[in-house]
């Protein structure tokens, strides 16, 4: 992955040269009136809760019973069901132009690394394949399934 240039952060530190990324975060929280709920919920992107269903593992926030039932009814294999139901379209968190592709790629890798550790802790006996990628229609994405 190529290096990300954090233009906004660089501009901010040029005028506040003694400050760190912690100060940057605090300033944005205060100036943009970011609700504390958002901060806690944002953490769930990196450390989600999981749901177990028929031996499969799903990100709780992504799990939809009706979609699960449809995928089972259509005779999809378990790995495909997990793949599609755990899919996070990371590029959707960024503006539509390509100027934040490196940011989306970085976020994908960070999500991958943190969820990998959480799966390892919670499901020691399971083997997971974690996937980050890029699709022309949806941009950067993350998903996982059991092998």
pLDDT in tens, 92-103: 998 877 778 899
Tens of pLDDT, residue by residue over 23-40, are 888 888 998 898 989 999
Extents of the domains making up the chain:
1-34, 48-146
The model carries a pTM of 0.86
Can you read off the two tokens belonging to residue 87? 């899919």
Q: What is the pLDDT of residues 29-75, one digit of tens each?
A: 998 898 989 999 999 999 999 999 999 999 999 999 999 999 999 99
Q: What is the rounded distance in angstroms from the CA atom of residue 107 to the CA atom of residue 142? A: 9
Q: Checking phi first, is residue 61 left (phi over 0); if not, alpha (psi -120 to 50) or beta?
A: alpha
């Amino acid at each position: 992955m190529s290096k990300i240039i954090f233009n906004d952060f660089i501009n901010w530190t040029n005028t506040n040269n003694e400050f760190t990324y912690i100060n940057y975060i605090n300033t944005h929280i205060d100036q943009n009136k970011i609700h504390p709920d958002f901060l806690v919920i944002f953490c769930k992107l990196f450390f989600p809760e999981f749901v177990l269903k028929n031996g499969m593992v799903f990100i709780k926030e992504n799990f939809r019973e009706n979609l699960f039932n449809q995928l089972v009814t259509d005779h999809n294999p378990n790995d495909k069901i997990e793949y599609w139901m755990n899919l996070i379209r990371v590029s959707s968190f960024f503006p539509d132009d390509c100027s934040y592709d490196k940011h989306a790629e970085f976020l994908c890798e960070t999500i991958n690394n943190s969820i990998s550790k959480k799966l390892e802790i919670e499901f020691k006996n399971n083997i997971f394949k974690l996937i980050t990628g890029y699709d022309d229609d949806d941009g950067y994405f993350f998903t996982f399934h059991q092998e």
